[in-house]
Structure 1
């Protein structure tokens, strides 16, 4: 069992902190979008208040026939209450001016025309004021309280900028408080609905990974009907399957060990019996001569069964060791071992190109070819004289879908009942009395090479196709 490679993140890390940060960032972004129009409206209201004071001063100017007769103290108090250097009242093309006793000469004057009330102009004016340096003077222009009248105020910009900074600070504080409060509320809600169930799934997967044979660690799914509920139920089903498979694997491993020991002893016993039967076959007794071949055949079959069981347990555990291999000599060697090369009745044809070079495990692939060629020979021998010209052929054809290796014969073919579980160990067999281990091993070896093996339907005989990926084809075949 592998060790634990990662630890579960803390409660305020992982998804939790990401969720809080994301919610806070989204709220702050929304506040920024809302902040600019709000700041523009604050500036417009501030300027409108100063204009209203200017309108009051304009009324004084309008009520007095001679402005110069106004007491200086009165005009100074009026300007001071408005925070202005001067007030200009325009009506019917005439202008009247009120200014401080000590006139101020501004160095830099910017105009704020409150007759333009569109939002982009207000926002640009607010940004300009907020980013402005000290020493600027505002020239505020607005309509008077009567038709065809206009009021202008000349005043320092610093008080407006300071009030805007104070307002911005309040907005930032309120926005942060609102973002944190909203994020905390949403986090608690999301934690209850999503983060806690996901954390439960994660903790269960980590715990079950450490001890998959502990049935008490299988997650108990909730009654939720959403995606998390589906994930819980699927995880519970998967953990149950893994628990069952691991228990079965342990039992099969123990059983396999016992069978291997029994099989080894049985093979030794059968070998001794075979030697004894060979000696019995030499006797002159007619009954012995008649029964001895059957005894030898039965013992050979029992020894072959025992050997195939041992080979199955040993062969399937080894991964293929790939190396460039010429296929034609490998097929010839397998045909020789399968007793096809010099068979008195069966003709064997090897149509493999001489230059075909594959990157395969020659030992394992040779075992596959031996098994298929041996099955073809035994099928033709079992048919006897029913097949006039028995023949086994091997072809190798590269194609776009892969390299197809075919083993075919013109024998009686396979019975329908033998096709259902043809590649299942101990259940499928190409011939009567077989264990099915040969084809099961062949399938595992071919699949370990990334290929597929299948039985191809054809009118006469039997044909097996091995399709190997083109990646196993060695491009440089000149050597």
Structure 2
């Protein structure tokens, strides 16, 4: 049989906090209790000793103690609560005792001349733990330093008063601890427990429905650590909501693109068949442009097929092959609309004989996107940029080859720069999708590369 779980209200942080406060206060009071009972016992004994000193003055003033009436001596002993009082001075002793008093058997001494705290505390503990049936011998100095006063009395009154004091002490301590715990609980509940419970409930709710924007935490204006946690949690939930929404949109878009792409691939195939027929014509212009048309259609068909493969998670792995970098950049510049552009010049300064072992299709997509972005940026700044130009330059050092593609355009606005490689967010022009650089930054499993953007 499984044990029943503890009720939630008993396992909450607030109950644990209140119990901790009470335990800590009681522990502190226990530490205070020992010196308290030691001082109480010392005060009790001092009061009795003072009465004994008064009685000793009477004894000192009477030449013959034996001549004192028994009624007077009993009254003195009764006022001190003692069975006998002994007064010693200059080697002489005088004693009065209650009539019919028995000689004590079990005597415990309390020397009030020793005022050390350990002695007082041990004496209080000894009295508290005793049964109260002993005889107490209180010793102290009289009015003169050379005089000494002793009182013999039962320990039970001291034991009873000390027990009563201890009981009252713990009752008051518990009441103080309870009131303090309740007051602290109220303040802590307002300042901490309530906001923490709010954050906890928000975490539970948002985890169950992260795509519900109404569940995003509304942070408070607190400036402490809890306020910082609320603001960071709200920011994290907002980012997560945006990411999930974007992924949902991408999933829907991917499904639509897959359907459209299937039909597009069939259309491109038909266009390829037509381009093959056009390539057989004898027109010189057709012969000059037909190869590029066929190549472009082949790339489009291959890209359409790669989209379908990606949707089926069966993308073709990179196929590195010896590729002339300069020719690859020229082809990419033609696809990006830079070759023959009426305004923007393209300067390919890469070595003509440099051959790299790369996947030409993947690298061609990267270069096309980069060069197209550069062309569109320069076209958007027409009249503001002198001699607009896009430049491709290669340099090398000990760590490898570095290809820099740069332009002399106006640069990117802050928002586009902050989201440069974020899909659908990094576009710097109206109507842009923000996919170009995101595609260019996709991981490549071929040879190491480094691309710098300016």
Fold-level similarity (TM above 0.5): yes
User: How far apart are 1:163 and its partner, in Å?
Assistant: 1.2
Equivalent of residue 122 in structure 2, options 118, 121, 124: 124
Does the CA-based 8 Å contact 1:422-1:439 persist in structure 2?
no
Using a 3 Å threshold, how does the CA distance of structure 1 residues 88 and 14 change in structure 2: closer, same or farther?
Answer: same
Residue number in structure 2 paired with 1:148 = 146
Equivalent of residue 367 in structure 1, options 314, 317, 320: 317
Equivalent of residue 25 in structure 2, options 24, 27, 44: 27
Residue number in structure 2 paired with 1:392 = 356
Tell me, yes or no, if structure 1 residue 377 matches structure 2 residue 316. no
Equivalent of residue 194 in structure 1, options 185, 192, 195: 192
Q: Which runs of 5+ in 2 are unaligned?
A: 331-349, 359-397, 409-416, 428-434
Residue number in structure 1 paired with 2:405 = 415
Using a 3 Å threshold, how does the CA distance of structure 1 residues 367 and 136 change in structure 2: closer, same or farther?
Answer: farther
User: How far apart are 1:168 and its partner, in Å?
Assistant: 0.3
Residue number in structure 2 paired with 1:402 = none
Residue number in structure 2 paired with 1:302 = 300
Q: Which runs of 5+ in 1 are unaligned?
A: 1-6, 319-363, 395-405, 429-433, 447-451, 458-479
CA-to-aligned-CA distance 1:202-258 (integer Å, 9 cap, x gap)? 222222222222222223333333333333333333333333333222222211211
Does the CA-based 8 Å contact 2:324-2:354 persist in structure 1?
no
CA-to-aligned-CA distance 1:15-48 (integer Å, 9 cap, x gap)? 2112212222232233223222221111011111
User: How far apart are 1:441 and its partner, in Å?
Assistant: 3.9
Tell me, yes or no, if structure 1 residue 455 matches structure 2 residue 422. no
Q: How does 1:231-250 map to 2 (within 5 A)?
A: 231-250=229-248
Tell me, yes or no, if structure 1 residue 442 matches structure 2 residue 433. no
Secondary structure at 1:79's aligned position in 2?
Answer: helix
Secondary structure at 2:323's aligned position in 1?
Answer: helix
CA-to-aligned-CA distance 1:370-421 (integer Å, 9 cap, x gap)? 3xx35x725254379x856544369xxxxxxxxxxx9977xx9442369x99
Using a 3 Å threshold, how does the CA distance of structure 1 residues 417 and 165 change in structure 2: closer, same or farther?
Answer: farther
Secondary structure at 1:164's aligned position in 2?
Answer: helix
User: How far apart are 1:166 and its partner, in Å?
Assistant: 0.8
Count residues in correspondence.
Answer: 374
Residue number in structure 2 paired with 1:106 = 104
User: How far apart are 1:285 and its partner, in Å?
Assistant: 7.4
Secondary structure at 1:116's aligned position in 2?
Answer: coil
Secondary structure at 2:443's aligned position in 1?
Answer: helix
Q: What value does the CA root-mean-square deviation take over the aligned residues?
A: 3.9
Residue number in structure 1 paired with 2:344 = none
Using a 3 Å threshold, how does the CA distance of structure 1 residues 393 and 104 change in structure 2: closer, same or farther?
Answer: farther
Using a 3 Å threshold, how does the CA distance of structure 1 residues 17 and 143 change in structure 2: closer, same or farther?
Answer: same
Residue number in structure 1 paired with 2:343 = none
Using a 3 Å threshold, how does the CA distance of structure 1 residues 255 and 387 change in structure 2: closer, same or farther?
Answer: same
CA-to-aligned-CA distance 1:307-354 (integer Å, 9 cap, x gap)? 333344555xx9xxxxxxxxxxxxxxxxxxxxxxxxxxxxxxxxxxxx
Does the CA-based 8 Å contact 2:325-2:354 persist in structure 1?
no
Q: TM-score, normalised by structure 1?
A: 0.66
Structure 2 Cα separation of the partners of residues 233 and 422 of structure 1: 26
Q: How does 1:219-230 map to 2 (within 5 A)?
A: 219-230=217-228
User: How far apart are 1:151 and its partner, in Å?
Assistant: 0.6
Q: TM-score, normalised by structure 2?
A: 0.70
